[in-house]
Structure 1
Amino acid sequence: IEDEEGPSLTLLAPNKFVVNWVQKNYLEQIKVAAEKRLRAKTTVAISVGDQGLANAGAHKNTQESKPLNVVGAPLNPLYTFEGFVAGKSNQIARAAATQITENPGTSYNPFFIYGGVGLGKTHLMQSVGNKINSTNKDSKVAYVHSERFVGEMVSALQHNTINSFKRQYRSLDVLLIDDIQFFAGKERSQEEFFHTFNVLLESNKQIIITSDRYPKEIRGLEDRLKSRFGWGLTVSIDPPELETCVAILKVKSELEGFDLPEEVAFFIASKIRSNVRELEGALRKIIANSTFTNKEPTVELAKDSLRDLLSIQAKQTTIENIQKTVAEYYNIRVSDLLSKRRNRSITRPRQIAMYITKELTSHSLPEIGDAFGGRDHTTVIHANKKVLLLKKEDVRFVEDCENIKRLLSL
């Protein structure tokens, strides 16, 4: 593509892993080869996409096609609100995202979504972009992973095209920036993003940001950025509850044209609840096994298809591993959990560890009490009731419990 800054080359890769690998190992060689061939300084971008998107440039003069975005990766057309299964774990985030599409730049700006890996943050973010694009074909929407933003800025500095870089980002109508935590420690990138953020916000342009943690908990991120992220709406997406997991499996199986019995969906959901990505992976295994063996999808078939995954989970979910994970999460020692100490900094983690042990293992109450320093089974009952009460009163407490369970399933 030719513009006033010179030629640019966009390469499409099948996924983010390939994008990152090529950028790390071959980006400079590609630039050298392109500049030798074109005899001019060339900007090289690598993004996720397919050949159909690459061919869009050949038809840019036709009315029905939209010009290829200069910045950002192509939006995934499968990421829509219709394909995003709503539940208690994500209903606030989904409702806010839907409202943003009706009034971009005025409702909840910036919109900050945080949560663990594979819970649907990118899907929801891109659903907003796809909806705005379908409503207004002239909208300039860019989806950018924070690592890509850093890479593009470094490239612009190397090729003396930083003004073009700034102009492209600051002329957007909607900026979707994924995994902002990767900005941590990158002061020059944070500086540039800070000014871009201010320009877009002052112009009432929509900004949506995702992260794996609450903005104020991102280490290495400047306080002025953390402060600005709190100007709009900050919401979390939590691991889906059982019913939402089942609904996700039913929707995904329908999209695959596969009839998944409800009892099989409940079995999968009861075993895998850490994130949506793992649910989809388990479903694909069962679909493949059923298709290749020409067998009906049953619970027994599901057990056979997922035996390796279930075996790993069974090994991970031991009392010892739960104690170790909880201790590391709260930055205390396992010996503290087993001790007689009763100060809150120890008592709360101990109660959570007992609660999770009761939920994820088949150990009896006396066995759990004995494993926690020889305590009585009534202590375990009290701990379980206390955690359930705290989960109703404090959202952050719910997040702590879910984060620990997610760590146990990794």
Structure 2
Amino acid sequence: MIPRVALPWRNGLRLRVPSGSRGCSSSSHNTLRNDDGRPIVISPPLVSLDIPDDWAPSPAHSCFSSPISSSNEQTATVIDGKFIADEIRTRIGSEVRRMKEGIGMVPGLAVIVVGHRRDSQTYVRNKMMACAEVGIKSMVAQLPEDCTKDQLLGALSSFDADPSVHGILVQLPLPQHLDEGKVLDVLRPEKDVDGFHPLNMGNLAMRGREPLFIPCTPKGCIEMLLRSGVEIAGKKATVIGRSNIVGLPTSLLLQRHHATVSIVHAFTKNPELITCEADIVVTAAGVPNLVRGNWLKPGAVVIDVGTNPVEDPSSEHGYRLTGDVCYEEAVRVASAITPVPGGVGPMTIAMLLSNTLDSAKRVYAFT
């Protein structure tokens, strides 16, 4: 039986920094906390991680070591994203109740959906259910597939002007006739709980800057690594996929946590040679079973963001979900791995709720 892990609350992060540097503790002033004083999300503010790059000269005799090899078959620990997300959502619910009792207000999340894509409808339904579970007010604007840009921007402006709405997200992808970039440009960064506005993405990329919101899926990936005791600083990480939604912000976030990051994409030659050097692999390519066991360094930690429907007549719906990683092979090589489903997906929704709560706290100066 494959062991599953959802480690309890950790008092500190396993992030080694030089003595005298600014603290990386999760007890920073702007970490969300509930009434028992424990943080909801343990990822620290990014500016607290910004330490100088002090390069030490390499010894003249130093050389690269050989790749690690192992003949002993191992079974990876499964990082239980659903368990971790449930714990986070419980604490968010407690904090929302405290806000309602203290100031009579609750966070509000608005979602704009264009068209009737089955996957988008499912994602939105899950988000609305999660909001109801923790006490966050939610609302949905459903627009037709052939809606105009002005209609979409009108819905966006309406939610932007509503003071009870603290977070707005436009469910992606949009139909081809609508420019996603222009839509995101109109969204106020203060309500961009998806973290895709250029200002939030730019602040994520720049040392010394703190985005108002970190994109939910990358934030969830880092949160799982931290809660599972995975050391990020100084490690080699490979991100497979470079989308604006997952790949790009994940690579930026790993760099802010001091990993040495390589990005693999469709034009990369010999991607398996790059990936097999990584201590941490995050894959978001959207290609079923792309990453095979021989792509992985023995003992690597694998975060599989892929959620790909694969035909399966034996399944109730005629298909099953699989990740980008060939799971059956990877569990015999990796030290830890996220399952699909039950890994990154629940964490993405938990981080959306956390960002929405964070936004409301900022608006109401609620501590």
- TM-score normalized with structure 2 length: 0.27
With a CA cutoff of 8 Å and minimum separation of 6, indicate the structure with the bigger relative contact order.
2
Higher helix share: 1
